[in-house]
Structure 1
Amino acid sequence: MRRNLLRPDDSTEADRVTYVELFFDLIFVFALTQLSRYLYENQSWEGAFESAMLVLALWWVWVYTTWVTNWLDPAKLPVRGAVLGLSLVGFVVSVSIYESFGDRGIVFALAYTVLQLGRTVFMLAAVSRHNPELRRTFTRILAWLALSSVFWIVGALLPLEYRLPLWLIALAIEYLSAGLGFRVPGLGASGIDDWNLSGPHIAERSALFVIIALGESLLVTGFAFVNQESSPAGILGMLLAFAASVAMWWLYFDHSERAGAKAIAAAADPGRIARLAYTYVHAVIIAGIVLTSVADKEVLTHPDAEMTLSTAVVLVGGPLLYVLGMLLFRLVVARELLVSYLVGVAALLVAFAVAFTLSPLQLGAVTTVVLVIVAGWETVVRVRRGTDDEKAG
């Protein structure tokens, strides 16, 4: 650990996403499928809170690891070994997440806290000799994570009725600490907005996670389709699910991903954009994708069933969260309040208002059409103005 493990400045290596980082991301494909399965089988208000908490916890693990590999160079053996070790612990998180509110609660809590604390301790050891400011920052982060770990572990050990509130407190501690600059009495706060980050690396890593989440959505849809007999309703449901995934891909990658990457690369304060747009706002985007995958499975499994409140919330909530997340993302990175996204949010709220006059298949068709219209709107406007991707945003 006497070696300087930080990424080299002013070189292509500073922004490069390495293969070991992509290997770490593979864990989350399985984790997201388990989250979708859990939410599908627990469509209640309690299940919704539990699923939301698990999505946010999983995202927080990924975000913190991405920030660490933004500073450290995964091409160097100690860092690569640490990432592989984190991958193993993350795999334990993934296989226990479905039963986290059951018999594997303590396994999930221990794996989660070991991953969070272990990664932070490794970061402290890696930067202690070479970057005093990062050392102070991660000392503060370690203090906050140690506090949240108490609630994770105690929540897993106490009777089940205490688990959700205690884990929500733990998660709130972790999310709020970043917003407070990891302020610790006697140690002060970290100037997150002034952090020297690789903006292109953060942007590319986040975009890759969106791709992983969309892939998980298609995986869930595919398994749901092959596990039932072919029917016109099933085929239409599968096509609607594919169209929704394409629309969500288009919303993010047609122009928004490029706009975000340019904004964070050119920003004088990349830490601010990384914290707001690529940490908090992206949590909303990922939650929208996960919820949409549950909606696709619901349409395939019960296309003509009577509409229930939980089904309506799932079918409309996924696309609504995604469009709202994209609206906030563009507002933060480009200071644009796009009319197309506002219209999309309004249209989805109207769809929810009339949901109980429709079947799940019909409501799924409506939400997919809204996503397709919103996705195409900005592209049409940009093409008519003669603005290409290289000049836009």
Structure 2
Amino acid sequence: MTHTPAKRPWYRPMVARQPDEPHRASTPLELFFDLCFVVAVAQAAAQLHHDVAEDHLLHAVPSYLMVFFAIWWAWMNFTWFASAYDTDDDVYRITTLVQITGALVLAAGVPRAFADADFTVITIGYVIMRLALVAQWLRVARTDLHPGRRACGRRYAIAITIIQVGWVLRLALPDSLLVPGLLVLVLAEIAVPIWAERVAETTWHPEHIAERYGLFTIIVLGESILAASVALQSAVDEHEELGGLLWIGGAGVVIVFAMWWLYFDRPASGLLTSMRVSLFWGYGHYLIFSSAAAVGAGLAVAVDHETHKAHLGGVGVGYAVAVPVAVYLLSVWVLHIRPHQQGLIVVAYPVAAALTLLAPLTPAPVPAVAVAVAALVAVTVVAAHLESRPSAGTR
């Protein structure tokens, strides 16, 4: 007797999935979504690397933060929506692929945004992603069995659509109003979930959300390794003196490995205890994702400086690595450590961040940053072993 696989429907009602659903793991479509989105992350990091190496800091940092917001916000909204309403029917898959297409369009516009402050292509890609999500929310508004969640879906669809009109109209604003217009639209985007969820909270799966964020953190850290490796390979091919490059390469590996260790040192799913806490945790990952990608750009700048291609001074090069690492450490501390831990480990994170910011004042800033984060990993390992040791009263 042969087994006939179940046929996937082309359309099914969007009924909220249960938050305690067992064995809820990321799907192949979600993983594909992440891999395509990291193309845009890589483009943003590459342009940041180029501008920082040219000492265009006042242009590089705001441009990077604006571009990364579009990437992160679209990714995060899909992630939480999928946790609640992944039906895996044909319409859902096609709509998700449209979102991925928007991410690729956005990635294609990143160089022009950095070079000419022209956000037209990025805006088109972003609007494609967001309107595809509107189509999904309209399905929720039509088919969810819960009246409150249907109303929530309508709120999401209406608010997101109005804001996308605002993004398109922003392209016609005079230069003096572009930044104020951006800030207004960003605040409006961030406020949408807070407003929509007031009528009824959508369901979400804590383990699934924690896994999705963790997987994207891994992908972004991998992109940093790749960016630094490509810069190092190019430098090695062109120069015979490899001593300084090897130090940067080795220190860069230690830094990224330590960043991975610190993020995954303790499971995050238990932290997501309410919608309010989860929103803060989810929003806070903007800093984790953007700083993790920026570390790769900083390491590439350090390689350029070693090969005399960068126009940035030695201290500035050190801070190109130290600042994103410090932001990453403090973000992990705020989201994962400070509210839920006690003792030495709570103090160790800000101390390590402070030492990281002092590292550029040393003769070897990148290795000094590596020492600081490696020491922090050592502290977390010791703290974990002390916590697991049985007390005298339980022996």
Class of the TM-score when normalised by the shorter of the 2 chains: 0.7 to 0.9
- 2:135 is matched by which residue type in structure 1? V
1:3 aligns with 2:12: yes
Distance in 1, matches of 2:80 and 2:95, equals 14
User: What secondary structure sits across from 1:97 in the alignment?
Assistant: helix
Q: What's the CA shift for 1:207?
A: 0.5
1:38 aligns with 2:47: yes
1:162-215 Cα distance to aligned partner (Å, 9 max, x none): 44442233222212343xx226xxxxx6257x5421111111100000011111
Aligned to 2:182: 167
RMSD: 2.7
- 1:274 is matched by which residue type in structure 2? S
- 1:346 is matched by which residue type in structure 2? V
Distance in 2, matches of 1:295 and 1:195, equals 39
Residue number among 371, 374, 391 corresponding to 1:372 in the alignment: 374
Distance in 1, matches of 2:185 and 2:204, equals 27
Q: What's the CA shift for 1:312?
A: 4.3
Aligned to 2:271: 263
- 2:369 is matched by which residue type in structure 1? T
Aligned to 1:92: 105
Residue number among 24, 47, 51 corresponding to 2:33 in the alignment: 24
Aligned to 2:120: 106
Structure-1-length-normalised TM-score:
0.84
Q: How many residues align?
A: 367
Aligned to 1:250: 261
Aligned to 2:158: 143
Residues 146-157 of structure 1: matches in 2 within 5 Å?
A: 146-157=161-172
Distance in 2, matches of 1:385 and 1:8, equals 36
Conservation of the 8 A alpha-carbon contact between 2:83 and 2:203: no
1:137-168 Cα distance to aligned partner (Å, 9 max, x none): 23222333234324422333345564444223
Q: Flag structure 2 segments of 5+ consecutive residues without an equivalent.
A: 1-9, 391-395
Distance in 2, matches of 1:288 and 1:135, equals 37
Residues 341-356 of structure 1: matches in 2 within 5 Å?
A: 342-353=347-358, 355=360
Conservation of the 8 A alpha-carbon contact between 2:14 and 2:140: yes
Computing the radius of gyration over CA atoms, which structure comes out larger, 1 or 2? 2
The runs of at least 4 aligned residues of structure 1 exceeding 6 Å deviation read: none
Mean Cα deviation higher: 62-71 or 323-332: 323-332
Aligned to 2:248: 237
Conservation of the 8 A alpha-carbon contact between 1:291 and 1:317: no
1:199 aligns with 2:202: no
Q: What's the CA shift for 1:336?
A: 2.5
Aligned to 2:393: none
Q: Flag structure 1 segments of 5+ consecutive residues without an equivalent.
A: 184-188, 389-393
Distance in 1, matches of 2:315 and 2:154, equals 46
1:328 aligns with 2:318: no
Mean Cα deviation higher: 206-215 or 152-161: 152-161
* Percent identity of paired positions between Structure 1 and Structure 2: 20
Structure-2-length-normalised TM-score:
0.83
Distance in 2, matches of 1:71 and 1:16, equals 13
1:47-87 Cα distance to aligned partner (Å, 9 max, x none): 21121122222111100000111122253222122112211
Aligned to 1:302: 305
User: What secondary structure sits across from 2:341 in the alignment?
Assistant: coil
Conservation of the 8 A alpha-carbon contact between 2:322 and 2:359: no
Distance in 1, matches of 2:101 and 2:120, equals 17
User: What secondary structure sits across from 1:254 in the alignment?
Assistant: coil
Distance in 2, matches of 1:344 and 1:100, equals 35
- 1:330 is matched by which residue type in structure 2? H
Distance in 2, matches of 1:134 and 1:309, equals 53
1:318 aligns with 2:308: no
